[in-house]
Structures are given as structure tokens and as C-alpha cells.
């Protein structure tokens, strides 16, 4: 958007990643961020949490923010719910057997997990403490591969994100979508499923279009969403490939970049007829 278009534009839907965008990596939601989200809600604009978290890990943040009844996108787009009360709106699954076989041939020490919606995970070996939440059941590889899943999580705390990017390239994954996290974490989802694909359905259901959406995120799994939204904003901590697809880059998490971007559209300055300076343009 040019300056004139920016002056006339206003978000009709706000889509927010959670980790690194709303909460820090200890799960703490800063007061300033919560206050800014509340201003969006008070303006009558839908806030859609759009996250790689499972629903049971998303719900506490939904409740902390005090969001009204509405949709949320979890599991990187494979699960869409409405809450409260809880209603499962869409679940997209795939058969993981081939993917599991390929992953373990390339990286035999990896731990694998599949989500049990609303409850927890089934895992082939234990993940590091704090990585997963909910009920954790350890199962055999054959058991995990034996039924359709919303996603497969691949984890090795002794590797790095760079090594996992190379792993994904070696796997030559076809028929699925995937994203690499900040650490040695790989999410493998059904083909064509990502945050943007699920958000497009949610936004259409609310009566809006991509151009009406302000989306904020910081991770590689936010790339499609930031590119899709009318205004996609990367938190300042985001890696280069995320920043490159964004329309703008706001402050870092420590600088309360998410609150800064939300306040640009919904802060006190709006009521006074003033617009703050724009966030840094993405490079």
C-alpha cells in the first residue's frame, strides 16, 4: 500500500501468531500487548489467533486475552475451532506413514509426535520438557504411522534449525506442507495446509477478504499468512526470510512490537485523529 492507501485503510480483521508475537518463549503475555489486543476487541474488530500451537495450548492464551466468541486457527492451519463454547469447525488430516519412513531414514534419532486434538500428543520418544503440553502418550513408530493425523512434529534437541532446513530439503517432501521452527523442529501438515489457507476460510466466513486483514507474526510458519494478508507485519525478531515477505517490520518482542503495530490502528491516537509514523519497511 502507498501512503494515500495506508491513510484510508483500516484493518477489518486482525490475525495474530502467538509465540514470539503475543507471548515470550516462557509463555508470558506482556500487559502492553494484552491491552492493545483489548483495544482491537473494543473496536468491534475480530481477533483471530492463528498459531502452530495445538488447540489445547491455544485456549489459555485465548482466555488470557479475554477474546469474545469467535474462530481460532491452530496446528498451523490443520485445525479451526470456534470458542467459547468449544466447537470443532474443521480438521484436515493426512496419512503420515510415508513421511515417517522418510524422516527416520534420514534422521533416525528424531522424536516424532502427532496431535490428539484437545488433549495432547502421541509421541515415539519423549520431547524436551516444555516442548509439548497436555497428555503425552508414548507409542511405537508403527502405531503413530497407523492412523491419519493433522500433522507430524519432528524434533531433535541436539540439532539446529539450519540442520532441519537441510533435512527438509533432503526429504524432498511431496504431498504435504512443512515449516521449520526456531529450533530443530519440523511441522509436517497435509498438502496445501498452512495458516493462510485456514485463515482465508475464516475471513471469508466473517464476510471479509485478504485485503482487509492485518496479520502479525515472527516465524517461518507465518510466511504464507504475512504474504496473503492485506498488511503482513513481521515482529522485529523474525529471521530474514520472514521479514522479506512482510509489508513492514515492527519492533522486537522486547520493544513490544506487536502492541506498537496494533496501536497504530487502534490506539489512543486514532481517537484523537492522529496516525503514528509507519513501522520500518520490510527489506
**Of 26 and 278, the one with more pLDDT:** 26
Instruction: Output the furthest CA–CA distance in the chain (Å, rounded).
Output: 62
Residue 182's pLDDT band (cuts 50, 70, 90): low
For the chain, give the percent of residues with pLDDT over 70: 91
Does residue 233 sit in the same domain as residue 255?
yes
Domain of residue 70 covers 3-91+194-281
Does residue 109 sit in the same domain as residue 180?
yes
User: What is the pLDDT at residue 163?
Assistant: 85
Residue 270's pLDDT band (cuts 50, 70, 90): low
User: What is the pLDDT at residue 278?
Assistant: 41
Span 238-254, average pLDDT? 96
Does residue 225 sit in the same domain as residue 277?
yes
Q: Which of 139, 164, 190 is the last residue of a domain?
A: 190
Does residue 162 sit in the same domain as residue 182?
yes
Q: Which of 160, 190, 220 is the last residue of a domain?
A: 190
pLDDT per position as a tens digit, 41-80? 999 999 999 999 999 999 999 999 999 999 999 999 999 9
CA atoms within 13 A on the CB side of 84: 9
Residue 273's pLDDT band (cuts 50, 70, 90): very low
Are 178 and 189 within 8 A, CB to CB?
Answer: yes
Does residue 276 sit in the same domain as residue 198?
yes
From edge to edge, which strands make up the β-sheet containing 87-91?
A: 70-74, 79-83, 87-91
User: What is the pLDDT at residue 175?
Assistant: 66
Does residue 108 sit in the same domain as residue 184?
yes
Q: Quick check: 173 pLDDT over 90?
A: no
Does residue 184 sit in the same domain as residue 124?
yes
Span 169-176, average pLDDT? 75
Count: domains in the chain: 2
Does residue 66 sit in the same domain as residue 200?
yes
Distance of CA 183 to CAs 156, 158, 159, 221, 226, Å?
9, 10, 8, 13, 21
Does residue 112 sit in the same domain as residue 244?
no
CATH number of the domain within which 35 lies: 3.40.50.1000
Span 132-141, average pLDDT? 95
Q: Which of 172, 190, 208 is the last residue of a domain?
A: 190
Does residue 155 sit in the same domain as residue 203?
no
Task: Pull the grid cell for residue 74.
Answer: 491452530
CATH number of the domain within which 167 lies: 3.30.1240.10
Element (H, E) at 167: helix 161-171
pLDDT per position as a tens digit, 191-223? 899 999 999 999 999 999 999 999 999 999 999
Distance of CA 219 to CAs 48, 65, 251, 261, Å?
17, 21, 15, 17
**Residues 151-178 as b or e (16 or more Cβ within 10 Å = b):** bbbbbbeebebeebeebbeebebeebbb
Does residue 24 sit in the same domain as residue 66?
yes
Q: Who's near 62: CB < 8 A, 6+ residues apart? A: 49, 72, 83
Residue 97's pLDDT band (cuts 50, 70, 90): very high
Does residue 124 sit in the same domain as residue 245?
no
User: What is the pLDDT at residue 179?
Assistant: 76
Task: Pull the grid cell for residue 159.
Answer: 540439532
Mean pLDDT across the chain: 90
User: What is the pLDDT at residue 174?
Assistant: 67
Q: pTM of the full predicted structure?
A: 0.88
Q: Is the peptide bond before 13 cis (omega within 30 degrees of 0)?
A: no
Q: Quick check: 230 pLDDT over 60?
A: yes
Q: Quick check: 272 pLDDT over 70?
A: no
* DSSP states of 59-128: HHHHHHHT--SEEEEEGGGTEEEEETTTEEEEE--B--HHHHHHHHHH-TT-EEEEEETTTEEEESSPPP
Helices 257-266 and 31-42 pack at an angle, to 10 degrees, of: 30
Amino acid at each position: 500500500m502507498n501512503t494515500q492507501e495506508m491513510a484510508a485503510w483500516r484493518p477489518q480483521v486482525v490475525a495474530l501468531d502467538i509465540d514470539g508475537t503475543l507471548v515470550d518463549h516462557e509463555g508470558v503475555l506482556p500487559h502492553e500487548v494484552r491491552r492493545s489486543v483489548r483495544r482491537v476487541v473494543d473496536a468491534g474488530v475480530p481477533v483471530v489467533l492463528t498459531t502452530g500451537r495445538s488447540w489445547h495450548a491455544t485456549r489459555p492464551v485465548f482466555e488470557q486475552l479475554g477474546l469474545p466468541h469467535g474462530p481460532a486457527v491452530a496446528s498451523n492451519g490443520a485445525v479451526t475451532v470456534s470458542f467459547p463454547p468449544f466447537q470443532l469447525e474443521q480438521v484436515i488430516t493426512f496419512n503420515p506413514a510415508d513421511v515417517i519412513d522418510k524422516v527416520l531414514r534420514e534422521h533416525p534419532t528424531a522424536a516424532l509426535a502427532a496431535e490428539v486434538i484437545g488433549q495432547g500428543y502421541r509421541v515415539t520418544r519423549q520431547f524436551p520438557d516444555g516442548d509439548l503440553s497436555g497428555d503425552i502418550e508414548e507409542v511405537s513408530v508403527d502405531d503413530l504411522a497407523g492412523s491419519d493425523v493433522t500433522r507430524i512434529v519432528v524434533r531433535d534437541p541436539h540439532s539446529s534449525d539450519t540442520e532441519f532446513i537441510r533435512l527438509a530439503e533432503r526429504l524432498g517432501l511431496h504431498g504435504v506442507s512443512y515449516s521449520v521452527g526456531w529450533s530443530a523442529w519440523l511441522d509436517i501438515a497435509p498438502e496445501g495446509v498452512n495458516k493462510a489457507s485456514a485463515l482465508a476460510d475464516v475471513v471469508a466466513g466473517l464476510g471479509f477478504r485478504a485485503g482487509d486483514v492485518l496479520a502479525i507474526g515472527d516465524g517461518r510458519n507465518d510466511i504464507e499468512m504475512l504474504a496473503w494478508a492485506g498488511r503482513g507485519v513481521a515482529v522485529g525478531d523474525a529471521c530474514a526470510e520472514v521479514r522479506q515477505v512482510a509489508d513492514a517490520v515492527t519492533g522486537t518482542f522486547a520493544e513490544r512490537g506487536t502492541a506498537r503495530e496494533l496501536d497504530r490502528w487502534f490506539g489512543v491516537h486514532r481517537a484523537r485523529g492522529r496516525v503514528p509514523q509507519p513501522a520500518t519497511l520490510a527489506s
